């Protein structure tokens, strides 16, 4: 293979950012494969054709099945609502296509298990698959992971993770697909909490073994949006039921001995995309806030007390993860660059024949935690174990 031919499913916000990343990645990185944006798929013919022209796709389709059937496509990139992930991914893998699937992997644990089994079977034939947890590709967070691996923090004892947004705080915000369980799977838990669960494991190397959780839906009904209701002539005065959580909190134990707290909400006025994580270890701490995404705060507990304090590391040096491809030191990156870095890693893995990460198995782990959170919150159980692979396979 000298050219990787891509078919993208979905032309909403995620489709746009993935398109931008596919356009940019070969301009930033020296890749072993040429990239071709072959086709974009979406249900609305006018919208998908306009998006294809604007975002650099050579053709447009109104049925994702056509992408799977086409011989001129090697990789299917899935950016649809979660309800479609399982059907598209299974069909693409069966057709011998590589797959990139946005997070969370699926809407249910059973779907995630089916997808992972199919991905592992396809991998034996050289077909690669990856879940799109883009925040892993933030240079400062990749640096934090390297510091943990090098032992700079010592034994990890605490993980504190928050993801705060405010975009549905208005009770008259319409009932979009992200607020419907049948399309999204869950609310803030899967949309935001999935990132925190993945990052905690990525940074520490420890997975959650058990947890106790609480979820809340603050606004039970919202105006029906034509795009989400599918009903002609529905006015804004007519309302529908919100069927997902607005906020989720849980505390957990990790297999390596650390304890962790997680909070995900879309009801934090003034917080636009405040994804924050802090690790405390026996030798030091690191703290990160995505709204200052080029910075990592580091405390060295082994330093003499008279000189101790949190240091601000500006993760823009060419020696920092991914930064060799970008700008001079001090010239920071943005949200879109995390996706470009993600596409770079996927292309490199496909070219080398190595399994890309995070894998569908990593996505399945996140799904097990999401499932345990929902089970704990619904049952009121004081403690919910997170099943390992052997217990659910």
Task: Return the percentage of the chain with pLDDT > 70, whole number.
Answer: 95
Residue with tokens 């990525």: 202
What the block records as the tokens of 345 is 């890693």
CATH of 139-292+294-333, one of 1.10.520.10, 3.40.605.10, 3.40.50.1970, 3.30.360.10: 3.30.360.10
> How far does CA 197 lie from the centroid of its chain?
10
Q: In what order do the strands lie in the sheet with 3-9?
A: 59-61, 34-41, 3-9, 75-78, 98-102, 129-132
Domain with CATH 3.40.50.720 in the chain: 3-135
The tens digit of pLDDT for each residue in 120-144 reads 999 999 999 999 999 999 999 999 9
pLDDT of residue 19: 98
Distance, CA of 104 to CA of 117 (rounded, Å): 16
- In the chain, ranges of CATH 3.30.360.10 domains: 139-292+294-333
**E-assigned strand segments in 42-144:** 59-61, 75-78, 98-102, 129-132
Model confidence, pTM = 0.95
Greatest mean pLDDT among 27-31, 221-225, 384-388: 27-31
How does pLDDT run across 244-259, given as a tens digit for each residue? Answer: 999 999 999 999 999 9
Please say if the pLDDT value at position 93 is more than 70.
yes
If pLDDT is split at 50, 70 and 90, which confidence band does 389 have?
Answer: low
Bridging pattern class, strands 239-241 and 284-289: unpaired
Q: Is 157 left (phi over 0), alpha (psi -120 to 50) or beta?
A: alpha
State residue 114's pLDDT score: 98
Whole-number average pLDDT of the chain: 95
Summarize pLDDT for 318-332 with one digit per residue, the tens. 999 999 999 999 999
| Level-2 CATH architecture, domain 3-135 | 3-Layer(aba) Sandwich (3.40)
d(CA 75, CA 91): 12
Average pLDDT over residues 337-350: 98
In this structure, are residues 323 and 2 in contact, taking their beta carbons and an 8 Å threshold?
Answer: no
pLDDT of residue 391: 41
Q: Which of 261, 164, 162 is nearest to 208 (CA)?
A: 261
pLDDT band of 179, cuts 50, 70, 90: very high
pLDDT in tens, 149-170: 999 999 999 999 999 999 999 9
Mean pLDDT for the stretch of residues 166-180: 96
């Amino acid at each position: 293979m000298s050219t990787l031919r891509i078919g993208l499913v979905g032309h909403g916000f995620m489709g746009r950012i993935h398109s931008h990343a596919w356009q940019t990645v070969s301009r930033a990185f020296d890749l072993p494969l040429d990239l071709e944006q072959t086709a974009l798929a979406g249900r609305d013919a006018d919208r998908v054709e306009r998006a294809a022209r604007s975002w650099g796709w050579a053709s447009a389709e109104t049925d994702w099945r056509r992408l799977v059937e086409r011989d001129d496509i090697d990789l299917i990139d899935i950016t649809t609502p979660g309800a479609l992930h399982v059907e598209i991914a299974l069909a693409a893998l069966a057709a011998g296509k590589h797959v990139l699937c946005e997070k969370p992997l699926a809407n249910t644990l059973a779907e995630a298990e089916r997808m992972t089994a199919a991905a592992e079977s396809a991998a034996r034939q050289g077909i690669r698959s990856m879940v799109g947890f883009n925040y892993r590709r933030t240079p400062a967070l990749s640096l934090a992971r390297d510091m943990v691996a090098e032992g700079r923090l010592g034994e990890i004892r605490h993980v504190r993770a928050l993801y705060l947004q405010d975009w549905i705080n208005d009770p008259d915000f319409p009932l979009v697909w992200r607020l419907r369980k049948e399309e999204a799977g869950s609310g803030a838990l899967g949309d935001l909490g999935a990132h925190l669960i993945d990052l905690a494991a990525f940074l520490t190397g420890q997975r959650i073994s058990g947890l106790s959780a609480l979820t809340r839906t603050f606004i039970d009904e919202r105006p029906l949006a034509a795009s989400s209701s599918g009903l002609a002539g529905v006015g804004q005065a007519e309302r529908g039921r919100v069927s997902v959580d607005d906020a989720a909190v849980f505390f957990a134990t990790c297999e390596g001995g650390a304890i962790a707290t997680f909070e995900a909400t879309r009801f934090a006025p003034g917080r636009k995309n405040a994804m924050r994580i802090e690790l405390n270890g026996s030798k030091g701490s690191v703290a990160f806030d995505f709204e200052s995404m080029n910075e990592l705060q580091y405390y060295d507990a082994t330093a003499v007390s008279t000189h101790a304090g949190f240091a601000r590391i500006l993760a823009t040096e060419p020696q920092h993860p991914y930064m060799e491809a970008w700008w001079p030191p001090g010239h920071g990156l943005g949200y879109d660059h995390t996706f470009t870095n993600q596409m770079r890693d996927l292309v490199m893995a496909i070219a080398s024949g190595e399994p890309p990460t995070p894998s569908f198995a990593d996505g399945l782990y996140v799904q097990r935690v999401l499932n345990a959170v929902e089970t704990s919150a619904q049952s009121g159980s004081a403690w919910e174990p997170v099943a390992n692979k052997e217990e659910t396979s």
